[in-house]
A and B are shown apart, each in its own frame.
Chain A
């Protein structure tokens, strides 16, 4: 299923201020490439979610460039922007499924980016999309729930639907905004394994915001530490010592 197309995402001088003069993000320079899971850690309110949402322009960056395979996403509008978005999968903390639709229908929303409104109105999806959705349900272990409504599932199951929906897009890049923050420790591990699997099988960069440092160390091959809207650490999990954590989160009592 994996298509051999190495993705390269580059953020250059990315900045965002919701209120002028109060930057949430400033001067973010990062590059992501190849099949790897990168964890972004940092205290609440440090702009992790904003960073993720700037990449697919759910939030408009104030300055800087976002280059996906050479195309600057910040310059795109209308159809071109939607085409670019359809190449970027996204997974949310609260799953953001359409609750009244079934699991299968939620997966199919993943291909809405390349479905005309006329076809969407008639609920016409291609045979290939249907089969792909079915295969993905097997991969996330939810085939028996294909016709269940999304709001009848548990949190872990919903998140798996969320991941399958994102993979339905055949993304060149996967973003995940605190995908495990609403889940118990065991389910969190399962979800992280699934995300790691997506990076490997689809051969794409997966960027995950998270709060759980141990989980990040365990699953990420690279960790980006943010504090005050800036990148303060960027490197392998092994390099992330207590000193660095103190710098990222401040204080030290919690480290005991």
Chain B
């Protein structure tokens, strides 16, 4: 170590909380991109004012909301719910094993990289784009929605599962392995207890996300309340649109409450 002139003076290279060069460049790049994007879409005041007038007319026609035809509404909501539940179940059945295969601490490299590749492909496209593909493949209706959201589920929780497994402590695993336990038993008694509660949180989150998405995929013909909503929009039945939106909000809120309840039950 070099002797400094005065041992009390803070040397120049000791700078707590200093921003690194990379960090500074990151912020500058972000600011430049934002400015460029703003120049493209031209958010002018005049446009905003005409927009306000349009919005006023739109809201005027929306009120008061109506809930008829009820049959269509209830059928759409029920179908959305079914899509969400089935997609969650199928998604879990596929993403639990995939998440395990993708965990680098338990699997050889080539296995985890292949599994990661599958998961990444599943999360590359937005559910709506996947839904369009499935509508083309299996036709209009709920089946396309179920497949689309299953794929989205794998992309969503597969990675979370893999990362949760990678964060576990290897100590109990070593101990259970030392008792002569098979790999399956090591999973059941050393891995599962360590990840179970986090997984339940993820699963509740997944169910919630699938419920939201199931209301959207209908817009492209993949079944559920989204289809009802889209049809109402095209008929300019804005009061019915508002009725449907309120029902979706209600459904999501029920989902949220359920998610909270589940998490509470399983808290440690």
- With contacts A117-B185, A120-B184 taken as known, whether A98 is within 8 angstroms of B193 at the C-beta atoms is yes
- With contacts A83-B180, A85-B180, A112-B181 taken as known, whether A120 is within 8 angstroms of B188 at the C-beta atoms is yes
| Those of B174-218 within 8 Å (CB) of chain A | 174-182, 184-186, 188-190, 193-194, 196-197
A165–B175 CB distance below 8 A: yes
Q: Known contacts A89-B179, A109-B189, A112-B180; can you find 15 more A-B pairs with CB under 8 A?
A: A56-B178, A58-B177, A84-B180, A85-B179, A87-B180, A92-B171, A96-B174, A98-B172, A99-B172, A99-B193, A109-B179, A112-B182, A112-B185, A165-B179, A169-B179
- With contacts A101-B189, A121-B188 taken as known, whether A58 is within 8 angstroms of B174 at the C-beta atoms is yes
Which residues from chain A sit less than 8 Å from chain B, CB to CB? Answer: 56, 58, 82-90, 92, 94-101, 109-115, 117, 120-121, 162, 165, 169
B193–A100 CB distance below 8 A: yes
* 5 intermolecular pairs with C-beta atoms under 8 Å apart: A58-B177, A84-B180, A96-B175, A98-B176, A165-B179
A109–B176 CB distance below 8 A: yes
Contacts of A109 in B (CB 8 A): 175-176, 179, 181, 189-190
- With contacts A112-B185, A117-B188 taken as known, whether A90 is within 8 angstroms of B175 at the C-beta atoms is yes
Q: How far is the CA of A132 from the CA of B67 in the complex (A)?
A: 65
Expressed in whole angstroms, the minimum distance between the Cβ of B30 and any Cβ of chain A is 41
Chain B residue total in the interface (Cβ 8 A): 22
- With contacts A115-B185, A117-B188 taken as known, whether A97 is within 8 angstroms of B180 at the C-beta atoms is no
Contact of B179 among A86, A101, A121 (CB under 8 A): A86
Q: How far is the CA of A84 from the CA of B181 in the complex (A)?
A: 11
Expressed in whole angstroms, the minimum distance between the Cβ of A206 and any Cβ of chain B is 15
Q: Which 7 A/B pairs are nearest by Cβ-Cβ distance?
A: A113-B180, A86-B180, A117-B184, A85-B180, A96-B175, A112-B181, A96-B171
Expressed in whole angstroms, the minimum distance between the Cβ of A4 and any Cβ of chain B is 22
Contacts of B184 in A (CB 8 A): 117, 120
Contacts of A121 in B (CB 8 A): 188
- With contacts A96-B171, A96-B174, A99-B172 taken as known, whether A114 is within 8 angstroms of B180 at the C-beta atoms is yes
Expressed in whole angstroms, the minimum distance between the Cβ of A42 and any Cβ of chain B is 21
Q: How far is the CA of A114 from the CA of B177 in the complex (A)?
A: 12
- With contacts A100-B193, A112-B185, A117-B188 taken as known, whether A94 is within 8 angstroms of B180 at the C-beta atoms is no
Contacts of A114 in B (CB 8 A): 180
A92–B189 CB distance below 8 A: no
A112–B193 CB distance below 8 A: no
| Those of B65-94 within 8 Å (CB) of chain A | none
Q: How far is the CA of A85 from the CA of B175 in the complex (A)?
A: 11
Q: How far is the CA of A83 from the CA of B193 in the complex (A)?
A: 24
A113–B179 CB distance below 8 A: yes
Q: How far is the CA of A208 from the CA of B103 in the complex (A)?
A: 33
Q: Could you say which of B186, B189, B196 has the most chain A C-beta atoms within 10 Å of its C-beta? A: B189
Contact of A110 among B174, B179, B193, B196 (CB under 8 A): B179
Contacts of B181 in A (CB 8 A): 82, 109, 112-113, 115
